[in-house]
Amino acid sequence: MRPAPFPIGNKFCPGDPDVKEKTLSYALLIPAFIIVLATTLYPLGYSFVTSFREWDLTKQRRPSGFVGVENYVHAASESGFQNSLWVTTIFVVTSVILTLVLAMSLALLLRRKGRMHTFTRIILILPFAMSPALIGVSYRFMFNPEFGVLAKGIGAVFPALEGTPWLASPDLAMAILVITDVWHWTPYMTFMCLGGLASIPRETEEAARIDGASNLRIIFGIVLPQMKGVLLVTAVLKTIFALKMFDQVVTLTGGGPGTSTETMAFFIFNVGFKWFDMGYASALAWILTAIMMLISAWYVRMLLSERKMAKA
């Protein structure tokens, strides 16, 4: 053992075990770093390079000629992409708003600890535990006009709607796609909202009750303003998930009828692996990424200014 008269000052000793320990800890991080590099950064970089080249997967094994920004310019005028942009916008906006409103309302209802506390929460988490692909398949069955449970059920309650070809109508197909997504995500978002609600000091609501506020006024004037931060984070997450949504389109509508539910993720997949135009697909993927980054950046700015308001 080396003498250690000043146990705190030993950082300055050469050959110090602390320094060795640090080197070792960096060394141990290297494999993980390499894996991340190989699985995330490399494909990202590769697709970015590809987006400036021509690459027909039926003819070439790797990207060929450099075409500059042609792939991006093409996207600006190509109708398939324009359509997917529009479809995605409708899907994202409706599903984010519906999910947030529903999740917040449910959270407000479930907030009070009652006898059903655990039970309701278990029930609630079930939809989220299901795989999105499976949800698509099961909803397709349930909305089948011939034998679907939901289609028949709706028909029984509203005879006028009996035999409606739910998934064959563009608007209805989109509506059902949104419904499945809201159904899938609401539980998760509800839990986020419950977490946010739990962090609101009880006295703020009690003070409002004493000051003479009605229940509605307490929710809109006292509770929701304090939930702003949580709701913003929830909205960012939900927006990103909605932009990336893919499984349900494949299993529920297959993008149809026609191209009415062809979201960007689905369209990009088709461009790349159905029409084998990898250059164009890469460019589109990067456009989608840019959109997500822009939206996130906007949310983060809102969040920061909200933090500043609450703190500074």
Amino acid type, 155: G
- For position 304 contacting another protein by CB under 8 A, the verdict is no
Of residues 225, 274, 294, 305, which one binds another protein by CB under 8 A?
225
Cis check: omega of the bond before 17, within 30 degrees of 0:
no
- For position 305 contacting another protein by CB under 8 A, the verdict is no
Window of 27-35, 41-49, 144-152, 206-214 that interacts with another protein by CB under 8 A: 206-214
Phi/psi-derived region of residue 68, left when phi > 0, alpha when psi is between -120 and 50, beta in every other case: left
Helix (H) / strand (E) containing 90: helix 79-110
Asked whether 103 and 186 are in contact (CB, 8 A), the reply is yes
Nearer to another protein, 27 or 216 (CB): 216
Q: Residue 254's closest CA among 144, 133, 86?
A: 133
- For position 206 contacting another protein by CB under 8 A, the verdict is yes
98's tokens: 């519906």
For another protein, the binding residues in 140-179 under the rule CB under 8 A are: none
Of residues 77, 114, 147, 203, which one binds another protein by CB under 8 A?
203
Of residues 108, 144, 209, 299, which one binds another protein by CB under 8 A?
209
Of residues 74, 121, 152, 228, which one binds another protein by CB under 8 A?
228
- For position 207 contacting another protein by CB under 8 A, the verdict is yes
Nearer to another protein, 152 or 217 (CB): 217
CA dihedral 279, 284, 287, 291 (to 10 degrees): -160
The rounded Cα 160 to chain-centroid distance in angstroms is 36
- For position 216 contacting another protein by CB under 8 A, the verdict is no
Longest dimension (CA), the chain: 91
190's tokens: 């509800």
Of residues 60, 105, 204, 259, which one binds another protein by CB under 8 A?
204
- For position 213 contacting another protein by CB under 8 A, the verdict is yes
| Site residues, another protein (CB under 8 A) | 201, 203-204, 206-214, 217, 222, 225-226, 228, 309-312
